[in-house]
Amino acid sequence: MKQTKLVHITDIEKDKAVLEEAGRIIRAGGLVVFPTETVYGIGANGLNADACRSIYAAKGRPSDNPLILTVPDQQGAEKVAACITPTAKKLMDRFWPGPLTIIFPRQPQVPDAATGGLDTVALRCPDHDICRAFLRCADVPVAGPSANLSTRPSPTTAEEVMHDMDGRVDMVIDGGPCCIGVESTIVECDGEDSVTILRPGGITMDMLKEVVTYVRLDTNLVTGQGAPKAPGMKYRHYAPSAPMTVVVGTEAAVTAKLKDLYEDALADGKTVGFLVSQEVGAHFPKDDMYIWGRRGDKAALANQLYTGLLSFDTDKVDLILAEGVDGDGLGMAIMNRMKKAAGGNVIIL
């Protein structure tokens, strides 16, 4: 078991020596957890096959699930992408740094261990000052999937990271809570002025349509069928310890359905946790309840989703009843994660 060093970064210049130490760990083949605006990532040298494989081992992640490589700027992408199309360049100019991952053809130095055996590489430039300072100190593309055990909810605080990764990584950089709370959008550039969303995230379909003419959803997202091409598409993800049911609809309809499910669970002798808005939560007992914000505030739900799910690891329950949202805008990413966390057990009213 590794001796994990937890470091708190509050000032990039004052803490430069710590970031340089983290960079040396990466270049030496070690593992460093780092903050981003979306979730915390577990970092390794993205050009070192053995280091990439150590990520899979630390997470218990299947080795055919591709990793995202993080870079501090567009120049970092040029070092590993075989080509950057005009469409990709438009997206980089608009959304980097930011929660957008773009699929590129890879250069030969990118190992299969980083791409799940694909001939493409997923690249992202996070919108987080501490993260980009760390990446500059590493001076290599850093593979950075979410810093959680495979299938578990992603961490948005260093405390949540330590729950899963203490003893599995060399260092954890605490840069404070993540501001978005769900992973990046992943897109593939299909051709001139056309992209396919492989995984929804903080950059919405409408935002993409402001930059490119044609935006579509990957077949796997729409039907659940077809070959996955990006992280988070193939396996069960984001799951809390207890089974979960998600209900989507009007406030009145959701409240009524959750009451029915709650009464059925109590009749079966089960304990129940609620992941709901303030408005819906007002109708239920306050024990084992996580309020993510006001109803309709999708940004609040995205920010609090994983923390809410992880809270039920501490407050043990037999069943989680959750309130979902419609699929417009950021709701697409939220419901993508909630559906996976619930194993598809989503009720649309």
Residue 218 corresponds to which tokens in the numbers above? 């990957």
Strands 244-248 and 346-348: parallel
Cβ proximity of 335 and 248 under 8 Å: yes
Instruction: Kindly state the tokens that stand for 99.
Output: 């929660």
Binding residue per annotation — 196? no
> Is residue 38 marked as binding?
yes
At residue 276, the 3 state secondary structure works out as strand
Is 220 labelled a binding residue?
no
CA 157 to chain centre: 13
**150 annotated as ligand-binding:** no
Q: Half-sphere exposure of residue 309, counting CA atoms within 13 Å on the CB side?
A: 32
To the question of whether residue 199 is assigned a binding role by annotation, the answer is yes
Helix (H) or strand (E) holding 86: helix 86-95
Residue 47 DSSP class: T
- Burial environment of residue 75 by CB neighbours within 10 A (0 to 12, 13 to 18, 19 or more): exposed
DSSP 3-state of 101? strand
**Which two three-digit tokens encode residue 101?**
């991952």
DSSP 8-class letter at 148:
S
Residue 214 tokens, joined: 């044609």
What SS3 class is residue 25? helix
| Residue 143 DSSP code | E
61 is in an annotated binding site: yes
- 3-state class of 161 per DSSP? helix
C-alpha 171/C-alpha 2 separation (Å) is 9
Q: Is 152 annotated as a binding residue?
A: no
89, with CB counted inside 10 A (0-12, 13-18, 19+), is middle
| 83: DSSP letter | -
Is 65 annotated as belonging to a binding site?
Answer: yes
Distance CA 41, CA 37 (A): 10
Return binding residues for ATP: 61, 65, 120, 146, 154, 199, 238
Return binding residues: 38, 61, 65, 120, 124, 146, 154, 184, 199, 238
Return binding residues for L-threonine: 38, 124, 184
